[in-house]
Structures are given as C-alpha cells and as structure tokens.
Amino acid sequence: MAANTVLVLASIGVLSLFCQWLAWRLRVPAILLLLAGGIAAGPLTGWLEPEAVFGDLLFPVISLAVAIILFEGSLTLEFEEIKGHGKMVRNLVPVGSVITCTVGTLAVHWGLDVSWEIALLFGAITIVTGPTVIAPLLRSVRPAARLANILRWEGIIIDPVGALLAVLVFEGIVSWGQANVFSHSLYIFATTVAVGLALGAAAGWLNGFALRKHLIPQYLHNAGTLTFMLGAYALSNEMAHESGLLTVTIMGIWMANMKQVPIESILEFKESLSVLLISALFIILAARVEFTAIADLGWGLVTVLALLILVARPVSIFLSAIGTSLSWRDKLFLSWVAPRGIVAAAVSALFAFQLQTLGHDDADILVPLVLMVIITTVTLQSLTARLVARLLHVAEPADYGFLILGANQVARQIGLALKKLNVPVVLTDTNWENARLARMNNLQVYFGNPVSEHASTHLDLTGIGNLLIISPYKQFNSLATYHFLDWLGNGRVHSLSEGDQDQKARHQTAEKIQQTRGLFGDVSYAKLATLVSKGYTVKTTQLSDTFSYQQFKEQYDQQARVLFTIDPRERISVVTSEMPGKPDKGWVLISLVPPQPPKERREKEPAPQTSPA
C-alpha cells in the first residue's frame, strides 16, 4: 500500500477522534462536526477522495458500517418500553412516521421533480430523529422533564422503526426494478422480506440463546455477536438480493426482546466502535459531497426543508397529542425539535450507491439532500431551541438537582430527604440490589454505568446540575469525577474524603479530584455507612425563633452532621468543609442524626442507684 494512502487512512481516524472530542467539549451533536470535518477534508481541500483511496472496497465498507448502525439501533427497541412511555410517544411513532413520510415524499416529488420511488425513499429516511442528536440538544436546552422524556424516547424508538421502514421501501424499489411483470416484482419483494424476517429472527434467537446459556465465553460476547451479525448480513444478501439490512434489523429487535439476554455489554462495546468505524464513515460520506450537487437542488431544497420543519413536524405533534394533557406551549416546542441524525445519513448514502448501480439516475440527489436536512435541522434547532423553550415558558428551572453516584443505604436516605423537598434527584448504581431497593423507595434510578454511551441517551439529567459521589468504589468514583467535572463544571462535583489512606496515596491523587473532596465535611464513605448501621437517619429540621441552630446542635450533643442547607430564598447548598452561610430562622437543615437525641436518652434513663455505705 502506498505511503500516501496509509497517511490518508490514518488521518481519517485522527480527524474523526478530533471531531468527537470537540463535540464533547462544545456539547453539540457529534454528527454535525463529523460532517463539517468530512466536507473540509473532501471538497474544500481535496485531501480525501474516498473513491481513490478505497476503490472497489468503498461500497462494501459503507454497507457493513450501515449494517452495524442498524443492528445497534434495533438492539434498543424493547416493546415494553413503548408501552411504558405515555400515550404521546405511542402516538408519535406511527402518526409522525406516516405524516413525515407523506409530506417528505410529496415535497421532493413536486419540489425537485424526482421520481415517486426516490421521493418515497427520501420520505422514509427522514422520519428518523435518533438519540445521538437528541441527547446533546436536550442537555443544552433543558426543557421540562415531560417534554425531554417525549423527545428522548421518540428518538430511541423511531431509530430502528424508521430504519426498518426505509429498508422495506428500498427493498420494494429494488425488487420492482428487477422485472417488468407486476406479479414477478411482487414475488421478488415478498421473497426479500421473507428471507429478511426469517433469517433475522433465526439469527437473533440463536445468538441470544448462545449468550443466555453461556455457550460462548464472556470475552467473546461482543466480538462474537458482531461477527455473527455481519455473517448473517452477508448470507442474507446471498439468499435474496439486498435483504441483509432487514435481517440485521430484525435480529437486533429479536435479541432486545428476548428474556435474560445480556445485551448491555454489547451496547457499551458500540462506544469504541462508533469512534473507530462509524465516525470515520461520516467523514467519508461528507467527503464525497459536491457543492455543485447541492447548488443544483436550487429553491426546491428550501421548499423541502420548509415543509419538513414547518408542516410535517407540527402536524405530527398536534395530531399525536389528541387526548393527552400537553398544553399548546408544549406542542409548539415539540413541533420545533426534530433533528435528523446518523441513521438518515448512513442509509441514504448506501441506498444511493445501490440505486445508481440499478439505473435510477435521480438517486444521486439522495445524499446531498439528506445531508442538507441533517445540517439544517441540527444547526438551526441547536441554536434556537433554548430560546424557543424560554419564550414558551417550557424550560426547566435552574439545574439545582442532584445526581447521586451510589444507591446504597446512605445514598437512598439522602435521596428520599431531597425528594420530599421537591429537589430533583437521580441515583445511579451498577449494583442491582441497590438499584432495586432504591426503586422500591420510589426513587428515580439509573442502573448501569453513568459515564457510558447508553447513559448518554437513557440517563435523564433534566434539572440535574450537581453530582454527589457516595460510593465505596474508588476507581469508578475517579472516572465519574473526571467525566462530570468536564460536563457540569467546577464546584458542581462533590466527593467524600478517602478517610485514613496514607500520605503517599493522597499525594498521588490527581489535583482535580482532590478539589472535589470534602463532601459533608471530612467524612469518608466508611464512616457514613457505619453511622447508618448504628441507626443514624437523615432528617429535615426547620429553624425558627423558638428553635435555633445552636439548640439543634445541643439537642444531639454535637453528634448531628448537617448535609445540606436551604436558605429562606429556597437555595439549596451542599455542606462541604465549611458551612455555607450562617443558619438562622427560616433555614432548613438536612442532617444525619443519631437514632435518638442523647439528651432525650439520658432523661429517660433511671437515676443511678447508690449502694449503702
């Protein structure tokens, strides 16, 4: 391989990593910067020419990458989750899909004079929003919790559903083009769908059965599932032309809904894979864009974008909201937020390749048209959604809530005390028993790794602006500290003291982590757990003219430990090494107190008996 080719391939990886890092720092959807990086590397500078670098391998590489994307997306589609997320989400997936597909199809056909087949495929592709673009936008905008949940779960569910619809439309176009006779075309389409459904279900069951019964070792779960999925994709295409995408989508959905199949680690494996493979894919796709192709779309492009943003989305929202309790302000905000993402870009590029090969000359507009939809919706809505939320008064109040790392007994008591005062609180733990007990206390819990890719789309941080690390797992605590310091900022992450660790260990601890220490004063997790095991509980105390802070301390013989203070302006503060302010009348204290004030115990004890001289 020529040295220049090696340099170009390496630069794709470096550029994709840089775009991912920059998106993380700027808190914007990564796809926007990946597309910008690809355009800069391709048409702007001419550094990257995918056809010259990959040659005949370009199409197979893209098709395998798209198969991985669709499989990963379909792994998140659990039917129980559709039932459990409200009438609005259940309505929005089918109603929104039909309306968006219809409006998109008509707009492209009449606005750009495109054939019905390509227009219908465009309409199917553009119904997908996707969690990869919704999650960063929601963190920046912070709308009301009910609206954030609707948008997040719509993105998670519509991702595989929209991809499946797009694949079915594509299969119909391909099979129809293989014969002039209606019955024969219908037969080819039916065969393609049947192979995709049957082979996908069989592959999903077989892979799920092997994982559930531990027929393959743990270290091969991720690699084995990935290679098995790619093998099923290739076999399906051999059995029926272009049925592989349907196969991997059905395979993922089947595995997601099998009982006792450990797919969590497979989903986390996608994190590294997305950086190495999927990110590079979008740079390659963007590098193939030609500005002349976008310019050739003319004013018809503006018409299509306007109809999708200003007609299709609002109509979908207002029809889906019939019978719900959403206000007109809620509906208007939901109508404005519908950015397109990864699945739309990847699927459009793959389908354009294949349809051009089959003689559909107008298929070449799919890629520039879909990329312009992505760039326009992501950019426009990322820049304006927060302003729209404020104007409509649907933005979440100040992010004064707490994410608690740990769902142990100490953390649960603190979470319950905060919840009773209407302070937003979320607990997260990798221990299932802790998470289960927290749920039994009716606390909001995320079971899993809070710094994972899965958490970025499923962990609801609406109204959360602070992290409390109340966990015994030191290495995991450090990882979470770094992650949330970059996300929440300095002064927002608080961790417990390490207790009696030696001076050398203290010196070796990174300065950034040391700065977060001092939560609840100089106390360690072991000390808190010991106090709780002795019967200490978290209680709320209101200070007044008749009960001062000094009286509070005397009541418990200085043994109470104040954890939080709430001043008369209802501002909650975490107690660290210093008490925030001077508690006075009107203040509320959240404290860890002994099982019974020592003073009261002494009063109840019988007077000591003296023996006769």
Q: What's the pLDDT score for residue 372?
A: 87
Query: Of 451, 456, 447, which is closest to residue 475 (Cα–Cα)?
Result: 451
Check residue 607 and report its DSSP letter.
P
Mean pLDDT confidence for 265-290: 75
The rounded distance, in Å, linking the Cα atoms of 210 and 206 is 6
Total-model pTM: 0.67
Most confident of 202-211, 350-359, 469-478, 603-612: 202-211
Q: Is it true that domain 3-391 has CATH number 3.40.1640.10?
A: no
The rounded distance, in Å, linking the Cα atoms of 343 and 338 is 14
Contact 132, 342 (CB under 8 A): yes
Three-class HEC string of 454-511: HHHHHCCCCCEEEEEECCCCHHHHHHHHHHHHHHHCCCCEEECECCCCCHHHHHHCCH
Lowest-confidence segment of 71-75, 129-133, 247-251 by average pLDDT:
129-133
**pLDDT tens digits along 472-486:** 888 888 888 888 887
Backbone angles phi, psi at 595, to 5 degrees: -60, -30
The rounded distance, in Å, linking the Cα atoms of 477 and 513 is 9
**pLDDT tens digits along 543-577:** 888 888 888 888 887 888 888 888 888 888 888 87
Neighbours of 165 (CB within 10 A): 19
Domain ranges of the chain: 3-391, 397-518, 534-603
Q: Is the pLDDT of residue 283 over 90?
A: no
Q: Is the pLDDT of residue 132 over 80?
A: no
Q: What's the pLDDT score for residue 504?
A: 46
**pLDDT tens digits along 569-582:** 888 888 887 777 67
Please provide the CATH number assigned to the domain covering 397-518: 3.40.50.720
Look at strands 445-447 and 537-542 and give their pairing. Answer: unpaired
The rounded distance, in Å, linking the Cα atoms of 409 and 158 is 38
Q: Is the pLDDT of residue 605 over 50?
A: no
Residues above pLDDT 70, as percent of the chain: 87
Contact 454, 428 (CB under 8 A): no
Give bridge partners of residue 538 from the DSSP assignment. 592
**pLDDT tens digits along 222-246:** 888 889 999 999 999 888 876 887 8
- Name every residue whose Cβ is closer than 8 Å to that of residue 305 and which is 6 or more positions away in sequence: 372, 373, 376
Q: Do domains 3-391 and 397-518 have the same CATH topology?
A: no
Q: What is the CA angle 124-130-136, rounded to 5?
A: 150
List, in sequence order, the alpha helices (H) in 358-423: 366-391, 409-420
The rounded distance, in Å, linking the Cα atoms of 397 and 378 is 24
Q: What's the pLDDT score for residue 611?
A: 36
Mean pLDDT confidence for 385-393: 87
What are the angstrom distances between the C-alpha of 514 and each of 328, 484, 508, 517, 577? Answer: 48, 14, 10, 5, 13
The rounded distance, in Å, linking the Cα atoms of 252 and 292 is 38
Contact 584, 566 (CB under 8 A): no
The rounded distance, in Å, linking the Cα atoms of 52 and 5 is 9
